């Protein structure tokens, strides 16, 4: 397994290109199943999960063709076309490796009137149930059966009727699955307390470009009037606000000065407000966002929340940044039940972090010492990279396959702004 080795202490200076958003790409790709015409996605990031999703689409009869990239994009252009579906089954061996595969459930149900998808199971950060996905689809008329670890969903008469569902808790994936199921329903579907993340806006904008009728985009109430068919489209994947926020934390902890090229401030206001509260200079530039820091971070108190609150996907990275700050910072993780897996690994580098239930207190220390550490999940592994960039000595991050799921060309991007970082391939 590959390892990333960092010799800490370099201030990051320069421009970091921000790739297309993983969490937008993973909900835009299944949209190709909703039409027999080609869907072309631009600015698609080169990530393990994106490749995995392309493989899943192929299994369902959807062709995927990579067409290079455009100069104004950092990612690739992919055209996906499901002229006819050859299967409506997402098998366990694919779904267990990539939970986002569950996002074919809604589109298959809408296009083919049926879908059989393996239950995704849990992961390192939580048991990740999908009950809300299923309840929303049932509210639109789907008949759902659970058997032998699979969800079998059927639309009576081959088409969802329409209906209304109010989410008891905000769920990004359930909102995405329900919206993709609703666009081809016979009637109108209403989702209340829907997720409002920018990735949901990206999904809705792509569906509208394909001919869907959606009102309330960006709000907690989505009203979707079903249409008989959707057509193809060309759509550019939004910039990855979590990747941008992660590199911002790296800039702050190294007391550097970077421009996050392609990042959009309007999509990451809570992250930028937290960076300013920590004492960073944050300003819009023509091409993105500049983040600079001349001193140690000030203490912050942060609680994760659905958008527009502080993103749970930024918690581990921000915590790493706070470890070298002054005073005591307080983090509360309200979304996932086990999202502090990075804490024992950060402690190996000399961080002072006390976890009690959903809350963690981070007391700033004067220095971090590089050490061999283990990545456990995607964002935890980025927190170890961030700490390693500022630690004295060498940090070896193992199990970097976690990182490759969400950070495109990470060492290349960090080398370009002065980091002493390399990937050691284990053959």
Catalytic residues: 123
223, burial (CB in 10 Å: exposed 0-12, middle 13-18, buried 19+):
middle
Cβ 11 to ligand EPZ, closest distance in Å?
A: 27
Residue with smaller CB distance to ligand EPZ, 30 or 173 = 173
Q: Which residues contact 249 (CB under 8 A, 6 or more apart)?
A: 275, 314, 317, 318, 320, 321, 386
Contacts with ligand EPZ, 191-220, as mask; x by CB under 6 A: ------------------------------
Answer yes or no whether residue 402 interacts with ligand EPZ by CB under 6 A. Answer: no
C-alpha span between 395 and 368 (Å, rounded): 10
Residue with smaller CB distance to ligand EPZ, 38 or 308 = 308
Cβ 304 to ligand EPZ, closest distance in Å?
A: 9
Residue with smaller CB distance to ligand EPZ, 219 or 285 = 219
Q: Which residues contact 347 (CB under 8 A, 6 or more apart)?
A: 353
C-alpha span between 78 and 390 (Å, rounded): 37
341: which DSSP letter?
T
Residues 102-141 that bind ligand EPZ (CB under 6 A): 126, 128-133
Task: Provide the sign of the torsion angle of the four alpha carbons 292, 271, 338, 176, taken in this order.
Answer: negative
Among 100, 191, 278, 314, binds ligand EPZ (CB under 6 A): 100
Answer yes or no whether residue 313 interacts with ligand EPZ by CB under 6 A. Answer: yes
Among 406, 407, 414, 417, binds ligand EPZ (CB under 6 A): 406
Q: Strand, helix or coil at 287?
A: coil
Q: Which residues contact 284 (CB under 8 A, 6 or more apart)?
A: 265, 290
297: which DSSP letter?
P
Cβ 55 to ligand EPZ, closest distance in Å?
A: 16
Q: Which residue is nearest to ligand EPZ (CB)?
A: 173
Crossing angle (nearest 10°) for helices 105-112 and 131-139: 20
- The CA–CA distances, whole Å, from 369 to 324, 366, 403 equal 11, 10, 21
Residues 326-355 that bind ligand EPZ (CB under 6 A): 335-336
Residue with smaller CB distance to ligand EPZ, 10 or 381 = 381
Contacts with ligand EPZ, 373-392, as mask; x by CB under 6 A: -----xx-------------
Among 35, 271, 312, 395, binds ligand EPZ (CB under 6 A): 312
335: which DSSP letter?
S
| Residue the block writes with tokens 């284990």 | 426
Cβ 133 to ligand EPZ, closest distance in Å?
A: 5
Span from 167-175, 265-273, 353-361, 391-399 in contact with ligand EPZ (CB under 6 A): 167-175
Answer yes or no whether residue 269 interacts with ligand EPZ by CB under 6 A. Answer: no
Answer yes or no whether residue 317 interacts with ligand EPZ by CB under 6 A. Answer: no
Total of chain residues touching ligand EPZ, rule CB under 6 A: 23
Among 142, 172, 289, 414, binds ligand EPZ (CB under 6 A): 172
Three-state SS string over 206-231 comes to HHHHCCCEEECCCCCEEEEECCCCCC
Q: Which of 47, 41, 32, 34 is nearest to 67 (CA)?
A: 41
Residue with smaller CB distance to ligand EPZ, 331 or 336 = 336
Pairing of strands 288-292, 89-90: unpaired
C-alpha span between 244 and 271 (Å, rounded): 10
Residue with smaller CB distance to ligand EPZ, 193 or 415 = 193
Answer yes or no whether residue 173 interacts with ligand EPZ by CB under 6 A. Answer: yes
Interacting residue ranges for ligand EPZ, rule: CB under 6 A: 22-23, 26, 100, 126, 128-133, 169, 171-174, 312-313, 335-336, 378-379, 406
């Amino acid at each position: 397994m590959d390892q990333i080795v960092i010799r800490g202490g370099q201030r990051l200076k320069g421009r970091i290109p921000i790739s297309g958003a993983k969490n937008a790409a993973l909900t835009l790709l299944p949209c190709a199943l909703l039409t027999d015409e080609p869907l072309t996605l631009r600015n698609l990031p080169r990530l393990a999960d994106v490749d995995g999703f392309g493989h899943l689409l192929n299994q369902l009869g959807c062709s995927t063709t990579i067409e290079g990239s455009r100069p104004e994009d950092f990612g690739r252009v992919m055209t996906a076309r499901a002229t006819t579906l050859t299967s409506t089954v997402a098998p366990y061996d694919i779904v267990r490796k990539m939970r986002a595969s569950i996002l074919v459930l809604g589109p298959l149900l809408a296009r083919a009137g049926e879908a059989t998808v393996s239950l995704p199971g849990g992961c390192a950060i939580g048991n990740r149930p999908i009950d809300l996905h299923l309840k929303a689809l049932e509210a639109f008329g789907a008949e759902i059966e659970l058997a032998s670890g699979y969800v079998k969903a059927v639309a009576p008469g081959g088409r969802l009727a329409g209906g209304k569902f109010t989410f008891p808790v905000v769920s990004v994936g359930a909102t995405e699955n329900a919206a993709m199921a609703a666009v081809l329903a016979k009637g109108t579907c209403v989702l209340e307390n829907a997720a409002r993340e920018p990735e949901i806006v990206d999904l809705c904008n792509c569906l509208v470009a394909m001919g869907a009728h959606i009102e309330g985009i960006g709000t907690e109430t989505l009203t979707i009037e079903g249409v008989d068919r959707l057509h193809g489209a060309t759509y550019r994947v939004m910039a990855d606000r979590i990747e941008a926020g992660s590199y911002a934390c790296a800039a702050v902890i190294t007391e550097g000065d970077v421009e996050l090229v392609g990042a959009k401030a309007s999509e990451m206001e809570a992250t930028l407000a937290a960076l300013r509260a920590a004492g960073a200079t944050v300003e819009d530039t023509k091409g993105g966002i500049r983040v600079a820091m001349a001193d140690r971070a000030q203490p912050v108190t942060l609680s994760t929340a659905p958008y527009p609150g502080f993103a749970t996907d930024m918690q581990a990275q921000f915590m790493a940044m706070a470890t070298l700050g002054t005073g005591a910072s307080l983090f509360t993780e309200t979304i996932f039940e086990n999202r502090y897996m990075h804490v024992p690994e950060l402690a190996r580098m000399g961080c002072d972090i006390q976890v009690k239930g959903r809350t963690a207190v981070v007391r700033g220390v004067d220095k971090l010492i590089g050490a061999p550490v283990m990545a456990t999940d995607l964002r935890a592994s980025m927190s170890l990279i961030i700490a390693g960039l500022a630690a004295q000595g060498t940090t070896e991050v193992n199990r970097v396959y976690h990182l490759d799921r969400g950070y495109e060309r990470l060492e290349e991007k960090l080398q370009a702004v002065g980091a002493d970082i390399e990937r050691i391939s284990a053959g």
